[in-house]
Amino acid sequence: MKIFKFGGASIKDAEGVKNVASIIKNEGAKDTLVVISAMGKITNAFEEVVDAYFTKSDELPNKLTFIEEYHKNIMSSLFDKEDAVYRDVDILFGELGWFLARNASQRYNYVYDQIICFGELLSSRIVSAYLSKMGTENSWFDVRNYIKTDSNYRDAKVDWELTEAIIIKKVDATKINITQGFIAANDTENTTTLGREGSDYTAGIFAYCLDAESVTIWKDVEGVLNADPRVFTDTTLLAQISYEEAIEMAFYGASVIHPKTLQPLQKKEIPLLVRSFLNPKETGTKVSKGASLVPYIPCFIVKKNQILISISALDFSFMVENNISYIFQKLHDYQLKVNLIQNSAISFSVCIDNKFNKFEDFYNELKAQFKIEVQNEVDLYTVRHFDTKAIAIIEEKGVSLLTQINKETSQIVVKPN
């Protein structure tokens, strides 16, 4: 069985849905499971709904209307008004409205997951219905009945044993199956999510549980490049790379592959293909086993809008194990992802991602015990297989605040020009 994953960019409009349907028809055959993300930037739109809901904003109805009209405008170019998919979509919006009216929880992360999931449920319904209309028989299912997790909302951990048992039992590998990425459910049937961009991970989970022959991530780039073309003008396609190299690149923030995706694939040596939905005839990049599959050129990875903090003791004493252990515990408590660490005798510096907007709480708790210097809106550049020319390219991006170099990798924190 093959696993395909299509992200939001591939289905951002009616033409995109038609293109995806064409790819599935031409390449999918029957033994394919297709993982679908929310359309376009709809996840961002649902995040605005969550925020408006919590702030009791008068804009909440308008934000909901925007999402509904966005989907129905796409549907109007794909379906006749009497098609059953309109009923299915209306039911989903009804379920969303019911939750917003009846929910009593004030837990942001819980509410976030219960709302955000509708992006994938809507998009997958529309894609499945269009495939059926065009004569490609398929089976739609709700992934929340298959992937089971703990209750760590917005970053849930998979219960692998239970998930594998359910998937093996329930997935018909002879059909084209359509399901959702990113979302799952806990043991009380509440929706959970696997972290932003987690649809790739969903594909990896199904591949592992079904012993798939391959996973294909369909992107708007030609494959895995040595740099993000939105940031760097001169990029090169990496036709083949090893699991180890891809994991390193994903760990440091390469957006083309989700960091968790590769681990289950590597365990069973399932190849990962990264191909372009814009040019589906091209072969793209293959990620597979092989120590020799190491890029021969520098690979650039950038994380934008990071926070660089330098922490030192108020009395200028050494930053020793108990200080650092305490700081790490607080970083964990406030869900601040650490992307770089550097310490000296009297200071400890970390570059962090404040994706859950909890940095201010972290800062307020620590400032009574430590001196903290903060640099906001910095960029973290990582260069794998660097050389002097590569370092010079990064240094032109702005003022270098911190540099860390090891045998294969250089990391530089830059304040942009």
Section 139-143 average pLDDT: 98
Residue 248 makes CB contacts below 8 A (sequence gap 6+) with 384, 408, 409
Section 18-45 average pLDDT: 93
pLDDT of residue 256: 72
Q: Are strands 337-343 and 285-288 parallel, antiparallel or unpaired?
A: unpaired
Residue ranges matching CATH 3.40.1160.10 in the chain: 2-212
Confidence of residue 288 (pLDDT cuts 50, 70, 90): very high
Nearest to 47, CA basis, from 93, 1, 144, 116: 116
pLDDT of residue 323: 83
Angle, CA of 398, 399 and 401, to the nearest 5°: 130
- Three-state SS sequence of 286-315: EEECCCCCCCCCCEEEEEEEEEEEEEEECC
Task: Look at domain 2-212 and name its CATH class.
Answer: alpha beta
Q: What are phi and psi of 219, to 5 degrees?
A: -125, 175
pLDDT of residue 356: 86
Residue ranges matching CATH 3.30.2130.10 in the chain: 299-416
- Give, to the nearest 10 degrees, the angle between helix 118-133 and helix 84-102: 170
DSSP state of 356: T
Query: Who wins on pLDDT, 295 or 261?
Result: 261
Q: How far apart are CA 145 and CA 148, in angstroms?
A: 7
Confidence of residue 29 (pLDDT cuts 50, 70, 90): low
pLDDT of residue 271: 96
pLDDT at 375 over 80: yes
Pick the range with the lowest mean pLDDT from 194-208, 283-297, 323-337. Answer: 283-297
Quick one: what percent of the chain has pLDDT higher than 70?
98
pTM recorded for the entire structure: 0.86
Section 78-82 average pLDDT: 96
Confidence of residue 54 (pLDDT cuts 50, 70, 90): very high
pLDDT of residue 316: 77
pLDDT of residue 257: 79
Scanning 117-198, the segments in alpha helix (DSSP H) are: 118-133, 160-170
pLDDT of residue 254: 80
Q: What is the pLDDT of residues 154-180, one digit of tens each?
A: 999 999 999 999 999 999 988 999 999
Domain spanning 299-416: which superfamily?
VC0802-like (3.30.2130.10)
Section 27-41 average pLDDT: 91
Nearest to 261, CA basis, from 252, 272, 277: 272
Section 341-356 average pLDDT: 90
Q: What is the pLDDT of residues 182-231, one digit of tens each?
A: 999 999 999 999 987 789 999 999 999 999 999 999 999 899 999 988 88
Q: What are phi and psi of 195, to 5 degrees?
A: 100, 150
Confidence of residue 293 (pLDDT cuts 50, 70, 90): low
Mean pLDDT of the chain, nearest integer: 93
DSSP state of 340: E
Nearest to 62, CA basis, from 112, 105, 70: 70
Distances from the Cα of 95 to the Cαs of 57, 88, 102, 121, 175, in angstroms?
20, 11, 10, 11, 28
pLDDT of residue 16: 98
